[in-house]
């Protein structure tokens, strides 16, 4: 897939005077020309406020808006009216927490999260817990980073009303046993919120086959522009939820003292939509589909295998979670013994390699792993074997540069 690098203009900038080796794809991805051009064309040809003008240009904007919704729906195997556009995964999760969690949970209920959740799938539930009295219960991974059947049995009980989990953790990179979780949720009568922010760039997410109740992701991690996110919700659930943000476009009728609300999905889309972002997201999905998901998976699996092998071969490196490539998608987190992650990242950066160091918006997992922070390398469709080689070679020098023998 090397040829596609030309589709991504940013990959030819310099990083610290060196060719950029972009390995922070889990934070955000680079955008292909297909996406940049689609957005630009929208603003050059079709820009208007959707749903508001009876004129032709307005109709084109409305069509761009609704066509994008259809493309996202098809991508997730959902129908269009189950797709709500938001600004990012975080807003999608807040929407569910507010309009479902606060509305339908109560004292005595339990909300089950994994301790590996990103703050965006954690802090909103703390608020729900505080307001409703529902209890937050955490799933803890085993020492390979997996959620075991025993752990699921123990935590998902008849009190469980909602389970919110990332399909792939942004630190461990490990896919959770979502089928087991959904099965237990069905028995418990709980709804399942799937945070696909880190899974969807690497695999097809079929919400119907998974039978999850809600799913969320961010466009910017899927090669689309920033400022556009998605919430999928089963129609019957969305139908019974009150609105979250209120204002223009999401209303039925407004009187001085009271209002009625529009049907879903519009009920959840207040104010002028980011149609440019939606068009960009649709273009990104089309682009990925045209590459072919089997190709993407195979390519990324190769990179993952190579990187894990390289990392395990370097002494004084701790990898967090199962180091077998089959279980992993996109990310590997690790630390270099005696070297602070920020120093590791800065030294890699001096070779043009961008990785992330910090708590990665997952402090509870850091506490659980008894580390303060770690380094994360994460791959995208445009990364190459050479990128991985350069990364591994640079990493080999880190301890030496920090004054350690090896």
> Using the rule CB under 8 A, is 291 a contact of other proteins?
no
Q: Which of 154, 372, 386, 393 binds other proteins (CB under 8 A)?
A: 372
> Using the rule CB under 8 A, is 34 a contact of a copy of itself?
no
> Using the rule CB under 6 A, is 399 a contact of ligand PLP?
no
Residue number with CB closer to other proteins (52 or 208): 52
Residue number with CB closer to other proteins (253 or 406): 253
Token pair, residue 329, equals 């998608």
Contact code string over 343-382 relative to ligand PLP, x by CB under 6 A: ------------------x---------------------
- The number of C-alpha atoms within 13 Å of 17 and in the hemisphere containing its C-beta is 1
Distance, CA of 93 to CA of 231 (rounded, Å) = 8
Residues 272 to 331: which contact ligand PLP by CB under 6 A? 272
DSSP 55: S
- Residue 361 bears catalytic tag: yes
> Using the rule CB under 8 A, is 14 a contact of other proteins?
no
Tell me the number of residues near other proteins by CB under 8 A.
39
Tell me the number of residues near ligand PLP by CB under 6 A.
17
Distance (Å) of CA 196 to CA 88, 131, 289: 12, 26, 17
Close Cβ partners of 223 (under 8 Å, ≥ 6 residues apart): 29, 30, 31, 32, 35, 201, 284, 287, 288, 380, 381
Contact code string over 226-255 relative to ligand PLP, x by CB under 6 A: ----------------------x-------
Which of 25, 131, 49, 116 shows the shortest CA–CA distance to 356? 25
> Using the rule CB under 8 A, is 54 a contact of other proteins?
yes
Contact window for a copy of itself (CB under 8 A) among 36-44, 67-75, 148-156, 296-304: 36-44
- The site partner of 62 among other proteins, a copy of itself, ligand PLP, none (C-beta below 5 to 8 Å per kind) is other proteins
User: For 26-150, where are the E strands, in sequence order?
Assistant: 83-86, 110-114, 135-139
34, 361, 392, 402: which is the annotated catalytic residue? 361
Residues 208 to 247: which contact a copy of itself by CB under 8 A? 218, 220, 225-229, 245-247
User: What is the distance in angstroms between the CA of the first residue and the CA of the last residue of the chain?
Assistant: 35
Residues 85/230, Cβ–Cβ less than 8 Å: yes
Distance, CA of 206 to CA of 66 (rounded, Å) = 20
Close Cβ partners of 123 (under 8 Å, ≥ 6 residues apart): none
Minimum CB distance to other proteins, residue 66 (Å): 9
Q: Which of 89, 152, 212, 398 binds a copy of itself (CB under 8 A)?
A: 89
Token pair, residue 214, equals 């809600």
Minimum CB distance to other proteins, residue 326 (Å): 30
Close Cβ partners of 185 (under 8 Å, ≥ 6 residues apart): 156, 160, 163, 191, 192
Residue number with CB closer to a copy of itself (120 or 325): 120
Contact code string over 129-148 relative to ligand PLP, x by CB under 6 A: --------------------
Residue number with CB closer to ligand PLP (20 or 361): 361
Distance, CA of 200 to CA of 178 (rounded, Å) = 14
Residues 42 to 61: which contact a copy of itself by CB under 8 A? 43-45, 47-49, 52-58
Which of 100, 33, 105, 328 shows the shortest CA–CA distance to 203? 328
Cα angle value 247/251/252 (rounded, 5°): 160
Minimum CB distance to ligand PLP, residue 275 (Å): 12
Residues 49/272, Cβ–Cβ less than 8 Å: yes
| CA dihedral sign of residues 10, 12, 17, 23 | positive
Distance, CA of 262 to CA of 250 (rounded, Å) = 5
- The site partner of 48 among other proteins, ligand PLP, a copy of itself, none (C-beta below 5 to 8 Å per kind) is a copy of itself
Residues 171 to 200: which contact ligand PLP by CB under 6 A? 195, 197-198
**Integer Rg of the chain from CA:** 22
- Residues noted as catalytic: 361
Residues that bind ligand PLP (CB under 6 A): 88-90, 118, 120-121, 166, 170, 195, 197-198, 218, 220, 248, 271-272, 361
């Amino acid at each position: 897939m090397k040829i596609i690098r030309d589709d991504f203009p940013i990959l030819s900038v310099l990083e610290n005077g060196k060719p950029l080796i972009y390995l922070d794809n889990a934070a955000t991805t680079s955008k292909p020309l297909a996406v940049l051009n689609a957005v630009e064309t929208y603003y050059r040809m079709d820009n208007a406020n959707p749903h508001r003008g009876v004129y032709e240009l307005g109709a084109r904007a409305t069509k761009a808006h609704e066509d994008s919704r259809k493309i996202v729906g098809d991508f997730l195997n959902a129908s269009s009216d189950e797709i709500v556009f938001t600004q990012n995964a975080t807003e999608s999760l807040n929407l569910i927490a507010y309009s479902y969690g606060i509305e339908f949970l109560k004292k005595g209920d339990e909300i089950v999260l994994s301790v590996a959740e990103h703050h965006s799938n954690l802090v909103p539930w703390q608020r729900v817990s505080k307001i409703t009295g529902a209890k937050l219960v955490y799933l803890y991974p085993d020492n390979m980073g997996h959620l075991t059947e025993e752990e699921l049995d123990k935590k998902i009980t008849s009190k469980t009303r909602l389970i919110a989990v990332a399909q792939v953790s942004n630190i461990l990179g490990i896919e959770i046993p979502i089928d087991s979780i959904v099965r237990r949720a069905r028995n418990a009568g709980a709804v399942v919120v799937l945070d696909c922010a880190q899974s969807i760039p690497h695999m097809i997410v079929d919400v119907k086959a998974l039978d999850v109740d809600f799913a969320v992701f961010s466009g910017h991690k899927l090669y689309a522009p920033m400022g556009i996110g998605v919430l999928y919700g089963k129609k019957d659930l969305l139908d019974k939820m009150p609105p979250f943000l209120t204002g223009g476009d999401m209303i039925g009728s407004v009187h001085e003292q009271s209002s009625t609300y529009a049907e879903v999905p519009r009920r959840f889309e207040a104010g002028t939509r980011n149609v440019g972002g939606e068009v960009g997201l649709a273009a990104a999905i089309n682009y990925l589909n045209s590459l072919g998901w089997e190709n993407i998976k195979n390519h990324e699996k190769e990179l993952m295998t190579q990187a894990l092998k390289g990392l395990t071969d370097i002494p004084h490196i701790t990898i967090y979670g199962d180091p077998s490539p089959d279980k992993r998608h996109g990310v590997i987190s690790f630390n270099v013994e005696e070297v602070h992650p920020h120093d590791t990242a800065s030294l890699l950066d001096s070779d043009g390699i961008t990785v992330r160091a910090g708590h990665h918006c997952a402090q509870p997992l850091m506490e659980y792993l008894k580390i303060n922070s770690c380094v994360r390398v994460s791959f995208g469709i445009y990364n190459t074997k050479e990128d991985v080689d350069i990364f591994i070679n640079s990493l080999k020098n880190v301890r030496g540069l920090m004054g350690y023998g090896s």
